Structure 1
Amino acid sequence: MQAILDVSNDNIVITDGHGKVLKASPNCYSIYGMKTDELLGKNVDELERMDVFSPSVTKRVIEERKEVQLMQHTLTDRYVMATALPVFDDRGKIIRVISFSHDLTELRQIKEDYEELQSKMAYYESEIKELRDKEQNTNGIVLKSKEIHQVWQLIQRVAASDATVVFLGESGVGKNVFARAIHEKSIRSKEAFVEVNCGAIPETLFESEMFGYERGAFTGADQNGKPGLIELANKGTLFLDEVGELPLNLQAKLLKVIQEKKVTRIGGTEPKAIDFRIIASTNRDLKEMVEAGKFREDLYYRLNVVPITIPPLRERKDDLLYLFDYFLDMFNEKYETDKVLHASTIREMLEYSWPGNVRELENLMERLVITTESRMIYPDTLPFQRQHGFAQETMEEEVEQAEQAANLPEALEEVEIRWLKRAYRQYKTTYEMAKYLGISQSSVVRKLQKYKINS
């Protein structure tokens, strides 16, 4: 028997019917971190509590009275496949349990590498298809979906002209990116592109910022005077972002400048001719604002020469994979990392509605690249609730369910089951579940068995 243990390539442990270790092969040290003489005489319950191996396959055999196979994590941070068989006497009593295990740590690493390769293959296939279809990715504008293709074709047609363009769409769809694209494709591309956020400039400062002022125009003014943003856009493009936020009294002054292409600084008397192109954007319905008396009708028609609506991200799902790739590459390069999205993470992100549009996606990708510890980005790092039946119950629902229980122990048990199920859905190992729940790994295993949450 000892000769077999000494020459075996497997890690063999033999216990009595109560889980007390009787014999163990010498190579157990490399896997379990304990020498043979340290294992002998100890019970598997004690060894499990010491995290020498977890969970105990021998313990399961004694409980179930049949052969058991499971994955173990060991004290040396190895992952092994353990198989154990019971030995019965003539009366059907377990007198020995023989277990043997194979180190699968390298196989686990191969599995992760394979999953990473699958993710990369998905990206490569997308890139090949994109090249085959002669699709473009210009300065963060992914041109995959039919909807965005139509927008891009319209932009290319109007870029060469000097027509006023107004971009319509929800916040975060990238209206400013498309506005800059028009400027860069126009004859004014070598001149200034001046972006003005109409909702960010206080009303009291708007005139001085937009039109500029002469020396000594008011208390605290620069002694040399200051050109306004409109002057700075001379020969170039003036982009009025969120133009729907402009107060009515300022709309009239802006309209005059747009019509006459002349600007008079505050404190000045001589108007100065300015040559600029107007591009505007808004997430408001300007037509409704005109009808409600909140936006000047004449300014509306002056701006609404070529309206271009940018569809929200939820209506152009075909762009998502390419946007994932674009922003992941961008932030990997920025932060000198090499993060990869797991296939299940990509599935979750594809099914999300993205209410914040491209801006939300960009911010999320930066967050994931910065905060994710491992190279592989798994779904549990996503901040939004999971879709297709995996949505987490809200705390209010948990409280409501618990209140329906007959007594306090039942209520606590109901909450405990919900938390365990949530952790079981989100994490891959009982160690990760334990960290999430704030309890020991062995407690997680016992509770999962108690409530029959895993099979």
Structure 2
Amino acid sequence: MDSGNNFVEIELQAILKGSKDNIVITDGEGNVLKASPNCLDIYGVEFNQILGRSVYDLEKEDIFSPSITVRVLNEKKECQVLQHTKGERTVLATGMPVFNENGELIRVISFSYDLTEIEELRENYHTLQERMGLYESQIEELLEKEEQDRDVILKSKAIKRVWELVKRVSDSEATVVFLGESGVGKNVFARALHNGSSRASKPFIEVNCSAIPEALFESEMFGYESGSFTGAHKKGKPGMIELADGGTLFLDEIGELPLSMQAKLLKVLQEKTVTRVGGLKPHKIDFRLIASTNQNLEEMARSGSFRQDLYYRLHVIPIEIPPLRKRKDDILLLIQHYLHSFNQKYNVHKHLQALALDELLAYHWPGNVRELENTMERLVLTSEKDRIEISDLPLLIHKQQHNSIEESTASQSNEAINASTYKEAMAQVEKHWLEHAIKQCKTTYEMAELLGLSQSTVVRKLHKYNLNSKMHLNS
């Protein structure tokens, strides 16, 4: 009988010594009877230092934190907990009760598995994901910068579609007319169209049809021979059309072209020749025509204020550029672009306060990109501090945003007032700021910079308020 008990004891010791898990066996009162020798590696104490001791005391000393055995003694069923040891290790502990034939709990056997390496791998994986997000963001910024180098800011789907269409038709000879409100950047796309064509090394001649007085329009467009009229240059002068020979003629705001000039332009397009004012000899001319307008040419053609035959000649490939208010995704990129550009131009280091940026993003920009560019230059030049604040913004932007800001503030205040405790009210405010940062940023690193927090704190708070999915969608 004794030899049998000895054999069982030998087997038990072999199991305790050979197991990769840490095994602790207690009696029904929670006193440690046996423990694995690897106790030091996991819990930071030698196994013989816990033998005979109560798990309640070991829990108070944070050796078992929390104690799985205590939980099994209380609940009298198999339990599982995550423990955090003094040695900063993460341990998964599983405890099982042992009952005698009378149903009395006489033993608790616990198995503890060190998850520290797995947790580190998980943290490294999350860190890697964050870095990948940062790298993707940086790559995207580089790609966007490449587009900026072409003077075209691309972010929204709407403007990317315009850009793709411009690239597809750039190397053709087809006439293109850009449609859209004033300030959307029609001239920028026109130049990009020219630069992407086989005529890129030849002249790009831009004519603002609304800026030339009607009396001078013919001589400016077609040129004149010497002595054609009083004040004319002695040697004569080539017109804009001649200067565009071999290249591109861009007629900006062609809806302002006088009717008399429309007929002459149509003749030039049909015959590919131009005759100077006061001259008799036509000059052979080769140019590609690009036009733009903020007017409805179709309606003008119906009403008779624009020639129908010229309208159809121009309307080969119409490309509509949407206003800035319909491509919100471009606004932030444009603000950053012009802020950087004017900082360099005027050798300053201005940056935007978060609330000021909010107002700029929410503004409807009736003057489109041109208005935004002028506003950013004004802010860089007139703000007294390096940080551009709400008080620096033009009054027009303030007026538009005043009502929406009041409504938003009132809504947040009501939410906070309705909270049952101070803690809940603060949590609502904190969550609001996190949601605000998610809309503005692509990664948690950017969020941390915006909110003035550490990146790890931002990640923890996103988990706290279940906002992770929103961040993934945003990035």
Question: Scaled by the length of structure 2, what TM-score is found?
Answer: 0.55
Deviations 1:296-334 (A, max 9, x none): 000001111100000000000001111011101111111
Q: Following TM superposition, by how much is the alpha carbon of 1:389 offset from its aligned partner in structure 2, in angstroms?
A: 2.8
Specify the SS of the correspondent of 1:389: helix
Q: Does 1:163 align with 2:163?
A: no
Change (3 A) 1:250 1:178: same
The amino acid that maps onto 2:305 is K
The residue number in structure 1 matching 2:163 is: 152
Structure-1 separation of matches of 2:197 and 2:217: 28
Change (3 A) 1:342 1:307: same
Structure-1 separation of matches of 2:137 and 2:188: 23
**Structure 1: which 5+ runs fail to align?**
1-122, 393-455
Change (3 A) 1:264 1:135: closer
The residue number in structure 2 matching 1:204 is: 215
The residue number in structure 1 matching 2:280 is: 269
Change (3 A) 1:124 1:348: farther
Specify the SS of the correspondent of 2:401: coil
The residue number in structure 2 matching 1:432 is: none
Structure-1 separation of matches of 2:358 and 2:250: 37
Whether the aligned pair in 2 keeps the contact of 1:209 and 1:229 (CA below 8 Å) is yes
Alignment RMSD, CA only? 2.2
Structure-2 separation of matches of 1:376 and 1:168: 37
Q: Does 1:234 align with 2:245?
A: yes
The residue number in structure 1 matching 2:121 is: none
Structure-1 separation of matches of 2:153 and 2:145: 12
Structure-2 separation of matches of 1:133 and 1:380: 31
Whether the aligned pair in 2 keeps the contact of 1:171 and 1:356 (CA below 8 Å) is yes
Report how many aligned residue pairs link the two structures.
Answer: 271
- The correspondence for 1:332, drawn from 333, 343, 362, is 343
Identity of aligned pairs, percent? 63
Whether the aligned pair in 1 keeps the contact of 2:356 and 2:389 (CA below 8 Å) is yes
Q: Following TM superposition, by how much is the alpha carbon of 1:136 offset from its aligned partner in structure 2, in angstroms?
A: 3.6
Whether the aligned pair in 2 keeps the contact of 1:167 and 1:310 (CA below 8 Å) is yes
Specify the SS of the correspondent of 2:403: coil
- The correspondence for 1:296, drawn from 307, 316, 325, is 307
Structure-2 separation of matches of 1:177 and 1:162: 19
The amino acid that maps onto 2:170 is A
Structure-2 separation of matches of 1:374 and 1:125: 33
The residue number in structure 1 matching 2:376 is: 365
Change (3 A) 1:125 1:374: farther
Q: Following TM superposition, by how much is the alpha carbon of 1:343 offset from its aligned partner in structure 2, in angstroms?
A: 1.0
Specify the SS of the correspondent of 1:387: helix
Change (3 A) 1:284 1:326: same
Structure-2 separation of matches of 1:138 and 1:288: 37
The amino acid that maps onto 1:191 is K
Specify the SS of the correspondent of 1:176: helix
- The correspondence for 1:244, drawn from 241, 252, 255, is 255
Whether the aligned pair in 2 keeps the contact of 1:130 and 1:136 (CA below 8 Å) is no
Q: Following TM superposition, by how much is the alpha carbon of 1:133 offset from its aligned partner in structure 2, in angstroms?
A: 9.1
Structure-2 separation of matches of 1:316 and 1:293: 34
Whether the aligned pair in 1 keeps the contact of 2:144 and 2:154 (CA below 8 Å) is no
Question: Scaled by the length of structure 1, what TM-score is found?
Answer: 0.57
The residue number in structure 1 matching 2:193 is: 182
Deviations 1:70-115 (A, max 9, x none): xxxxxxxxxxxxxxxxxxxxxxxxxxxxxxxxxxxxxxxxxxxxxx
Whether the aligned pair in 2 keeps the contact of 1:188 and 1:237 (CA below 8 Å) is yes
Change (3 A) 1:376 1:237: same
Q: Residues 16-415 of structure 1: matches in 2 within 5 Å? A: 127=138, 129-131=140-142, 136-383=147-394, 384=397, 385-387=399-401, 389=403
Q: Following TM superposition, by how much is the alpha carbon of 1:127 offset from its aligned partner in structure 2, in angstroms?
A: 4.7
Change (3 A) 1:323 1:126: farther
Change (3 A) 1:328 1:206: same
Larger radius of gyration: 2
Q: Following TM superposition, by how much is the alpha carbon of 1:292 offset from its aligned partner in structure 2, in angstroms?
A: 0.7
Q: Following TM superposition, by how much is the alpha carbon of 1:140 offset from its aligned partner in structure 2, in angstroms?
A: 2.9
Deviation >2 Å, runs of 4+ = 123-140, 388-392
Structure-2 separation of matches of 1:168 and 1:138: 23
Q: Following TM superposition, by how much is the alpha carbon of 1:190 offset from its aligned partner in structure 2, in angstroms?
A: 0.7
Whether the aligned pair in 2 keeps the contact of 1:135 and 1:144 (CA below 8 Å) is no
Q: Following TM superposition, by how much is the alpha carbon of 1:139 offset from its aligned partner in structure 2, in angstroms?
A: 2.9
